[in-house]
Amino acid sequence: MERHQLILEKLQKEKYLTVADLCTYFNVSAVTIRKDLSLLEEKGLLYRTHGGASLENPYINERAVNEKEKISVEEKNGIAEAAAKLIVANDSILLASGTTVQALAKFIQPKEKLTVITSSIHVVLHLLPFSNVHILQLGGYIRHSAASVVGSYAQQILDNVSCSKLFLGVDGIDINYGLSTTNLDEAQLNQKMLGSAQKIIVLADSSKFGKKGFAKICNLNQIDEIITDGGISPTMIKQLESEGVKVRIV
């Protein structure tokens, strides 16, 4: 069917489509589009999601940090470099775990005092040579696959601190499900971090959009800004901006 081919061509460009968008585009009912998507999924040509379809499997499996840091390296470095420019003199920032946040640590070259609170061991190692960077390493159980800490001890420390910005890495960003990661303990710590920062900035390459991890962190309307690369689809940008999220493309 011609409509099926057009859906697949559109999906190749957009990576993720909603049923509502397809209804408007083809001027047909939601029932018709859902039948189309079901048939295409049965043929293994796409993945159905809640309210839409994705070209790739939206569900993410956990991978070790040394494996993840080899993926989308150029994009992550561009995002990290842009994020580093948002850090000001005498700032106090919170850095979560993840390979893009680790990349951010490499681009931080503070000339003035900087206070960094982090769960990531790699972030600490990157910033250790700077005597003007005051580091508060969160304590707790070590997640070996992520080289970061999790647990109630780390969460308790966050009860007593406040900072200007949280730089957050995620495994998935879905319009309906929100931000997510593959580990429940990490998601709970990330949730606690949200309450310790005035501004929430998500660092995510475009491969993270339309994806879901096992553990939800928060809804989209709880974050302020996403820094990503040019691979993000125009449709996704519009949806994010409709939720009040600023999208910065590098």
DSSP string, 150-170: ESHHHHHHHTT--EEEEEEE-
The CA-based dihedral angle spanning residues 239, 242, 244, 249, taken in that order and rounded to the nearest 10 degrees: 40
Q: How do residues 89-118 score in pLDDT, each as one tens digit?
A: 999 999 999 999 999 999 999 989 999 999
The CATH architecture to which 65-249 belongs is 3-Layer(aba) Sandwich (3.40)
143-156 mean pLDDT: 93
Phi, psi of 130 (to 5 degrees): -90, 110
Q: With pLDDT > 70 as the criterion, what percentage of the chain qualifies?
A: 96
Determine the average pLDDT of the residues in 67-94.
89
The pLDDT of residue 62: 65
Domain extent listing, the chain: 2-54, 65-249
Model pLDDT for residues 177-231, shown as the tens digit of each residue: 999 999 999 999 999 999 999 999 999 999 999 888 899 999 999 999 999 999 9
Alpha-carbon span 117 to 233, nearest angstrom: 33
| pLDDT > 90: percent of the chain | 73
**Spatial contact of 36 and 80, defined as CB atoms under 8 Å apart:** no
DSSP, residue by residue, 41-67? HHTTS-EEETTEEESS--B-----HHH
Domain at 2-54, CATH class: mainly alpha
